[in-house]
Amino acid sequence: MSSKQSILHALKRVAVEPQAMPEINVSPRLDDVIGQFETNLGAVAGTLHREAGLSGLQAKVDELIAQGQQVISTVEGITGNRTLPETAHELKDIDYAVIPGDLAVAENGAIWVNNKNLGHRVTPFICENLFLVVKADTVVANMHQAVKQIGLESGEFGVFIAGPSKTADIEQALVVGAHGACSLNVYLT
Contacts (CB under 8 A) with other proteins, residues 73-112: 88-89, 92, 105, 107-110
* Interface with other proteins in residues 107-136 (CB under 8 A): 107-110, 120-122, 125-126
Specify the stretch interacting with other proteins by CB under 8 A; choose among 7-15, 48-56, 60-68, 94-102: 7-15
- The two beta strands, 175-176 and 166-167, are antiparallel
Considering only 6, 50, 76, 135, the residue that binds other proteins (CB under 8 A) is 6
Q: CA angle 132-135-137, nearest 5°?
A: 145
Minimum gap (Å) between residue 158 Cβ and other proteins: 5
Which of 34, 32, 168, 50 has its CA nearest to residue 109? Answer: 34
Q: Which is nearer to other proteins, 79 or 167 (CB)?
A: 167
The least CB distance from residue 78 to other proteins, in Å, is 22
128 burial via Cβ count (<10 Å: 0-12, 13-18, 19+): middle
Number of residues engaging other proteins in binding (CB under 8 A):
74
CB nearer to other proteins: pick between 71 and 110:
110
Can you list the positions of beta strands (E) in 7-117?
A: 47-49, 71-73, 96-100, 103-105, 111-114
* Window 131-170: residues binding other proteins (CB under 8 A): 142-144, 146-148, 150, 152-170
Per the DSSP assignment, residues forming a β-bridge with 18 are none
- CA 9 from centre of chain: 40
For other proteins, the binding residue among 51, 67, 68, 179 (CB under 8 A) is: 179
Nearest to 148 by CA among 21, 19, 22, 26: 26
Task: Report, in Å, the least distance between residue 136 CB and other proteins.
Answer: 20
Of residues 16-75, those binding other proteins (CB under 8 A)? 16-22, 24, 26-27, 29, 40, 43-44
